[in-house]
Amino acid sequence: MSTAKGMKLTLKVWRQKNAESKGNLETYELEDVSPDSSFLEMLDILNDGLIQKGETPVEFDHDCREGICGSCSLYINGEPHGPGRRITTCQLHMRSFNDGDTIYVEPWRAKAFPVIKDLVVDRSAFDRIQHAGGYISVNTSGNTQDANAIPVEKENADQAFDAATCIGCGACVAACKNASASLFVSAKISQYALLPQGQVEAKDRVQNMVKQAQEEGFGPCSNTGACEIECPKGISLENIARMNREYLAASLAK
């Protein structure tokens, strides 16, 4: 059992009733927070206290708490998912902070991610981008070829799997000064563009997904690389370059 001394913290938490309401930062004081607690457990402690006082708890999104779903997307002290690297908010522990710290907790900031309430944003724009082209044709006639029987170069397979690790959390958007979704879109394009199964829709895929991202209100790539740095899965900027090549080739083909 841990004997670490609990920390005293000041939280500045964004509270907002809905997308139309004007939000503001509310100040909360917490005491005896274990350094071994996760950031989400700390928010649970905050909410328990608010409920006991008859106050409205802070709304925040989460699901797996294992770093694989991306739901726990929070902007912490000016960084998506907080001060850690290659982790999501649910994997961030309070030992990353110091006793007496003031911690700012905000939602993602992007036009395409409207606030639902408090720290929860609507990221369904990502779903619509994937619906626009994130699929492959499948022959269901009974004469389908086993995917494992199709030769794929190891380098391409490795890069495709690396791109597929994107969990769609939106940290790339939150980190970008243009609120660009280029890293997300390019990862979803790359995981198919690098494999033979993805070639049938390749040209339509890149054009449709890029178009949908623009229609959703995401900005252009800023070329600063903040997205890769803040990505909890370390998705490479090389995917954006691949997307641009795929888009140019598709445009010239028509």
CA quadruple 146, 150, 154, 155: dihedral sign: negative
Q: What is the mean pLDDT of residues 22-40?
A: 97
Question: For domain 123-252, which CATH number applies: 1.10.1060.10, 1.10.530.10, 3.90.1200.10, 1.10.1200.120?
Answer: 1.10.1060.10
- How many other β-carbons are positioned within 10 Å of the β-carbon of residue 202? 18
Give per-residue pLDDT as tens, 176-234.
999 999 999 999 999 999 998 899 899 999 999 999 999 999 999 999 999 999 999 99
For the chain, the average pLDDT equals: 94
Flag whether pLDDT at 3 surpasses 90: no
Q: What is the mean pLDDT of residues 49-73?
A: 96
Buried b (16+ CB within 10 A) or exposed e, 7-22: bebebebbebeeeeee
Beta-bridged to residue 179, according to DSSP, are none
Cα–Cα dist 52/231, whole Å? 36
SS3 31: strand
Report residue 5's pLDDT band, with 50, 70 and 90 as the boundaries: confident
Give per-residue pLDDT as tens, 107-124.
999 999 999 999 999 999
Does domain 7-116 bear CATH number 3.40.190.80? no
Measure CA 15 to chain center.
21
Pinpoint the residues of the chain covered by CATH 3.10.20.30.
Answer: 7-116
Flag whether pLDDT at 2 surpasses 60: no
pTM comes to 0.92
Nearest to 112 by CA among 25, 188, 23, 181: 181
Pinpoint the residues of the chain covered by CATH 1.10.1060.10.
Answer: 123-252
SS3 12: strand
User: What's the pLDDT at 96?
Assistant: 97
